[in-house]
């Protein structure tokens, strides 16, 4: 068992029985479910929209080699610059080079899971560059020294009382401050940072091939401020975020907003097509798009599992998953948690280290049911399990055990040969630890079903 699997088992065991944690998560996800059900009820032909979104993403992945150069060419025409990064180290190095070239000392960031993926804040801090999160949830977890808990809602694991306590300790606000007061304080603290930061860094929800643009979706306006004041704007985007046309936003924006937060449309939706043009008064002097691979082409090569790249990061599968709702986001120890994280992380960060995530599922299929682009998530989890075994990553004991089980199951006399007492002894001896200390082992009947059936027939005769 790898250290990541051990950490997951230990942390998830603690979190599943942390009643306060469960209370906060159930409350926040409950509010989410109410909002999303209301939002989805307003969409006409939802199933048809999901099918269309799936087909468009399928076409994108089949033509990624054509659409990425199309995006690059159109973005360059507007004076932007494109950087191709194969992995985390390349992305970090290129971003640092841009910052150093501009003699910049401070960075303001909007919410971006891709920047979390490349560990950008830690990297910049090591290079003596201040990097501040401007999204309220991200800002809160940054103050706590934590990673985002959720793809969409970084501070979902915290109650308003937890945040009030944090602000009281750090900034002297009242210990019983209301959410409105806390937001006002955060706005006050961040406002100066927007105007003094040298560089603004964002992610992107979509890359638009035919216009050479990036589309950003947010609820707080912080991304607009992050891209307005600083002289340099850097967008770090996974290569899978492509959509063919600007017209496709008409489909993807409502799907993202309803499945992400239950809104008809997210409050702020922005499209950036390069740096400030001649005659324009707003926008950065320089704009860069860093196209990040970091294992995505390896996943693209997996014909059966490349569906994982269709994800638009709405977070719906996390909120639907019974495992996530019990163990929470931090237990996964990955950038992308929940069902979709369990699908893609073994391909992005290594099957050997993260194959255990594909087993952290009840296979209930709820994640597949709620996905707005119809990714067959629970099937992908099974395929990951298959691949890990095919690559020889299954423990030897497990391999021998399953071979023995298969042999016994193929012959009824072998099943009946071992009585209930021996089966129960084997369960207690070999499965007690893996079954879990908080669960009761099943009790096998003294006689097999076939023996009971034969005995019943004899009695009837």
pLDDT of 401 above 90 = no
Q: Within 10 A of 245 (CB to CB), how many other CB atoms are there?
A: 12
| C-alpha–C-alpha distance, residues 338 and 346, integer Å | 13
Classify residue 84 as exposed, middle or buried by CB count within 10 Å of its CB (0-12, 13-18, 19+).
Answer: middle
Quick one: pLDDT at residue 353? 94
Residue 347 has pLDDT above 90, yes or no: yes
Least confident range of 174-188, 231-245, 424-438: 424-438
Check residue 10 and give left, alpha or beta (phi > 0: left; psi -120 to 50: alpha): alpha
Q: Provide the pLDDT confidence category of residue 461 given band limits of 50, 70 and 90.
A: low
Q: What is the DSSP string of 255-300?
A: HHHHHHTS-SS-SEEEEE-SSPPTT--SS-SEEEEEEE-TTHHHHH
- Mean pLDDT score of the chain: 93
Band the pLDDT of 52: cuts 50, 70, 90. Answer: very high
pLDDT tens sequence across 237-265: 999 999 999 999 999 999 999 999 999 99
Question: pLDDT of 114-164, one tens digit each?
Answer: 999 999 999 999 999 999 999 999 999 999 999 999 999 999 999 999 999
Contacts 24+ apart (CB under 8 A), 393-399: 393/351, 393/352, 393/355, 395/1
What pLDDT score was predicted for residue 433? Answer: 73
Q: What is the pLDDT of residues 283-323, one digit of tens each?
A: 899 999 999 999 999 999 999 999 999 999 999 999 999 99
Question: Mean pLDDT throughout 66-73?
Answer: 98
Between the two ends of the chain, the Cα-to-Cα distance in Å is 54
pLDDT grade, residue 379 (50/70/90)? Answer: very high
pLDDT at 460: 65
Say if CB 351 and CB 372 are below 8 A apart.
no
d(CA 222, CA 153): 15
CATH number of 43-294: 3.40.50.10420
Q: What percent of the chain has pLDDT over 70?
A: 99
Q: Is the pTM of this model over 0.85?
A: yes
Instruction: Provide the residue ranges of all domains of the chain, joining segments of one domain with +.
Output: 43-294, 396-460
Report whether pLDDT(227) > 80.
yes
């Amino acid at each position: 068992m790898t250290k990541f699997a051990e950490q997951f088992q230990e942390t998830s065991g603690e979190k599943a029985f942390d009643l306060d944690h469960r209370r906060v998560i159930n409350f926040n996800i409950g509010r989410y479910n109410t909002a999303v059900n209301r939002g989805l009820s307003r969409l006409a032909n939802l199933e048809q929209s999901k099918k269309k979104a799936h087909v468009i993403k399928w076409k994108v992945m089949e033509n990624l080699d054509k659409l990425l150069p199309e995006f690059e060419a159109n973005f360059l025409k507007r004076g932007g610059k494109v950087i191709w990064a194969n992995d985390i180290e390349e992305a970090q190095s290129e971003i640092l080079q841009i910052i150093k070239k501009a003699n910049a000392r401070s960075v303001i960031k909007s919410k971006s899971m891709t920047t979390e993926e490349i560990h950008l804040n830690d990297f910049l801090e090591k290079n003596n560059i201040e990097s501040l999160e401007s999204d309220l949830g991200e800002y809160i977890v940054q103050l706590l020294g934590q990673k985002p808990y959720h793809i969409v809602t970084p501070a979902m694991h915290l109650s308003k009382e937890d945040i009030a306590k944090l602000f009281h300790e750090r900034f002297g606000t009242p210990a019983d401050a209301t959410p409105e007061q806390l937001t006002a304080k955060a706005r006050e603290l961040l406002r100066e940072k927007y105007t003094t930061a040298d560089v603004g860094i964002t992610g992107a929800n979509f890359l638009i091939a035919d216009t050479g643009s990036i589309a950003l979706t947010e609820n707080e306006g912080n991304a607009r401020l992050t891209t307005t004041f600083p002289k340099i704007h850097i967008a770090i985007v996974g290569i899978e975020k492509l959509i063919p046309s600007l017209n496709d936003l008409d489909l993807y924006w409502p799907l993202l907003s309803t499945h992400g937060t239950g809104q008809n449309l997210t409050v702020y939706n922005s499209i950036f097509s390069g740096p400030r043009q001649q005659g324009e008064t707003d926008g950065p002097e320089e704009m860069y798009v860093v196209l990040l691979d970091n294992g995505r082409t390896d996943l693209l090569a997996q014909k059966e599992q490349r569906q994982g790249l269709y994800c638009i990061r709405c977070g719906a599968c996390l909120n639907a998953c019974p495992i996530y709702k019990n163990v929470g986001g931090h237990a996964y120890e990955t950038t992308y948690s929940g069902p979709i994280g369990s699908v893609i992380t073994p391909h992005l960060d290594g099957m050997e280290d993260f194959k255990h995530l594909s087993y952290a599922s009840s296979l209930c299929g709820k994640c597949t049911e709620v996905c707005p682009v119809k990714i067959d998530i629970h099937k992908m989890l099974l395929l990951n399990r298959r691949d890990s075994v095919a690559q020889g990553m299954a423990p030897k004991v497990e391999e021998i055990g399953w071979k023995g089980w298969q042999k016994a199951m193929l012959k009824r006399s072998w099943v009946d040969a071992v009585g209930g007492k021996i089966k129960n002894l084997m369960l207690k001896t070999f499965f007690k630890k893996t079954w879990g200390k908080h669960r009761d082992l099943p009790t096998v009947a003294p006689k097999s079903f076939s023996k009971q059936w034969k005995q019943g027939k004899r009695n009837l005769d």
